[in-house]
Amino acid sequence: MMDALVGAILSGAFGLALWAAWRPRYRVASYLLAAAIAVALVAVLLVIGNTDMVIVSAGMLALFGSMVIFNHRRAQRTRSRTKR
């Protein structure tokens, strides 16, 4: 049950961060909220002593972070092409 809950929370934070790449008006707020959700999740997992899920969450966050940066840069290139 804990695995499904952690997966849902991480997926929601990742989806929010990806959505922010296409919405320049809300980008900073969405990135900050997604980061806050992820940090809170890792903190809760550390407090309850679920180290296996902390390791999995940290790995997922590293992957998510790199994907969000890649998507953010791609969206910027797309927007700059459409403005020309």
How many domains are contained in the chain? 1
Q: What is the rounded CA–CA span in Å between residue 76 and residue 18?
A: 13
3-class DSSP state of 24: coil
Whether residue 53 contacts residue 2, with contact meaning beta carbons closer than 8 Å, is answered with yes
pTM (2 d.p.): 0.61
Q: What is the rounded CA–CA span in Å between residue 18 and residue 71?
A: 7
Q: What is the rounded CA–CA span in Å between residue 64 and residue 11?
A: 9
Q: What is the rounded CA–CA span in Å between residue 72 and residue 70?
A: 5
Q: Which domain holds residue 21?
A: 2-83
- 11-69 tens-digit pLDDT: 777 777 777 766 667 777 777 777 787 788 888 888 888 888 888 878 877 877 777 77
3-class DSSP state of 23: coil
